[in-house]
Structure 1
Amino acid sequence: MQFETQSGPLSFSCTRLVVAGWTGRDTAAVAHHIEELAAIGVPPPSTTPLYYRVSADLLTQATELQVLGPDSSGEAEPLLIQHDGALWLGLGSDHTDRALEATSVAASKQVCPKPVATALWQFDEVADRLDDLTLESWIEESGTWVPYQSGTLAAIRPLLELMDGAPMSDNTAMLCGTLGAIGGVRPAVKFKARLGDPHSGREIMFDYTAHPLPIIA
């Protein structure tokens, strides 16, 4: 896939994709998120944070996706990419099957594509202010975009700390966890997200549609 960077286009071929879960820095907030998901039948994690390996070919820049059934939705997450010895920061969505999540979190992540934005920032350029970066998302409900997530990366464990739990070799991508959902986790077909840097005024944005396929028994 091709990414846009300030130093020019970057070609990246993902061979290892990791989805980090339960990465909240506030342990009380993590416990609340676990309770939130438990309310819809999701079993608690064995440990926190937890690193899920999923198929590398799930990583995509497509804006039109196909998913099985009507029960999936996205989550805005910082994206780390290791390429040619350098670390990059981007924006992705851990699109997840919410119905399957109640049976197996790992399986719910494996069955859905992981869309990402087409822009990357050099990690070193923002490393000194990661906590100030803003993360937001919206979902479409009844034809209107409504806020779904809003906060800063200060709510997520330090990204370099997360890398200690899942070392990044070249051609690795990692989604680094997310913020709580405003109004609770729920399915949505249309999703958009934004990563902002208040210091420079730069932002990364993307949106996509996840078209549900019929479930045939």
Structure 2
Amino acid sequence: MNFHVNGKEINWEPKDLLIAGYTAKDQNSLRNHIEELEKIGVAAPPAVPMIYQLSPELLCNESEITAVRNDSSGEAEIVILNIEGEWYVGLGSDHTDRVLEAVSIQKSKQVCAKPVSKELWPLGSIEDHWDEIEMKSWYVLNGEECLYQSGKLAEFLTPKELVQIIEGRGYSISEAAILCGTLPILSSEFLYGEEFKAEIYDARTNKRISLSYQIKILKDAEVV
């Protein structure tokens, strides 16, 4: 995979791909919310935050991914990459099969590619104002762009906090790519469109990282 950092090109392939879920900064409030969901029959995750280990070859920076049936969707996430001992920040999408998600969350993530931006920032360049970074995403439906997610990184655990949790559970972070959690969606339900777009914006430097990819729907062999 090819990445760009301050005009420099980096060629790198991850050895591990980890997807973090339930990464809200206020973990106590999150646990209270999970308990409320349990009361109405929604199963609680076995651990908070959740860490899903996926095949590293799912990470890609292509402009198109494929899916069977139009029932998978993306979600904007910060991705941190440990490249030769140095941490970098990019923008990724945890594209997920929403039908399979009802059966197994990990399997629903494993069957979809995980697009990531080619542009990266050194993590150290934003650590002191992590909370201020803005993140947004959009879906393109029938040619119309719809705002899908919007918020700031203040809502999430910091990379340092998340990495400590991941290491504490025995996962390797050497040459790893880690997706760090997503914002709530603004619509009442998941959207399934032909294109997914996202960006992070640093107001202090007026810099942004953008991500966009098309979703190509494969012919479904089970539909005659």
Secondary structure of the corresponding residue to residue 126 of structure 2: helix
- Equivalent residue in structure 1 for 2:180, among 160, 176, 189: 176
- The aligned residue for residue 75 of structure 2 is 75
Against the structure 1 CA distance between its residues 155 and 33, is the aligned structure 2 distance closer, same or farther, given a 3 Å change threshold? farther
- The aligned residue for residue 207 of structure 1 is 212
Secondary structure of the corresponding residue to residue 177 of structure 1: strand
Secondary structure of the corresponding residue to residue 109 of structure 1: helix
CA contact (8 A) 1:22 1:48 kept: yes
| Shift of residue 135, structure 1, vs aligned partner | 0.6
Cα distance in 1, alignment partners of residues 163 and 173 from structure 2: 10
State the one-letter code of the partner of 1:77: E
Against the structure 1 CA distance between its residues 178 and 133, is the aligned structure 2 distance closer, same or farther, given a 3 Å change threshold? same
CA contact (8 A) 2:135 2:150 kept: yes
CA contact (8 A) 2:137 2:147 kept: yes
Against the structure 1 CA distance between its residues 72 and 33, is the aligned structure 2 distance closer, same or farther, given a 3 Å change threshold? farther
State the one-letter code of the partner of 2:22: W
State the one-letter code of the partner of 1:173: A
Cα distance in 2, alignment partners of residues 126 and 86 from structure 1: 14
Deviation string 1:49-96 (CA, Å, 9 cap, x unpaired) is 000000000000011111121110001000100011111011000000
Against the structure 1 CA distance between its residues 42 and 108, is the aligned structure 2 distance closer, same or farther, given a 3 Å change threshold? farther
TM-score, structure 1 normalization: 0.91
Deviation string 1:6-44 (CA, Å, 9 cap, x unpaired) is 1511111111000001112234467669989xx9x9754
- The aligned residue for residue 60 of structure 1 is 60
Against the structure 1 CA distance between its residues 171 and 185, is the aligned structure 2 distance closer, same or farther, given a 3 Å change threshold? farther
Cα distance in 2, alignment partners of residues 108 and 56 from structure 1: 15
Against the structure 1 CA distance between its residues 184 and 33, is the aligned structure 2 distance closer, same or farther, given a 3 Å change threshold? farther
1:132 aligns with 2:132: yes
CA contact (8 A) 2:149 2:185 kept: yes
Question: Which aligned runs of 4 or more in structure 1 are off by greater than 6 angstroms?
Answer: 33-36
Cα distance in 1, alignment partners of residues 35 and 161 from structure 2: 21
Query: Please, what is the CA RMSD of the aligned residues?
Result: 2.3
CA contact (8 A) 1:91 1:117 kept: yes
What is the aligned length? 215
CA contact (8 A) 2:137 2:199 kept: yes
Deviates more, 1:204-213 or 1:174-183: 204-213
Deviation string 1:123-155 (CA, Å, 9 cap, x unpaired) is 111110101101100011232101100000001
Against the structure 1 CA distance between its residues 32 and 96, is the aligned structure 2 distance closer, same or farther, given a 3 Å change threshold? farther
TM-score, structure 2 normalization: 0.88
Gaps of 5+ in 2: none
Secondary structure of the corresponding residue to residue 200 of structure 2: strand
Cα distance in 1, alignment partners of residues 90 and 35 from structure 2: 26
Gaps of 5+ in 1: none
Against the structure 1 CA distance between its residues 196 and 116, is the aligned structure 2 distance closer, same or farther, given a 3 Å change threshold? same
- The aligned residue for residue 158 of structure 1 is 158
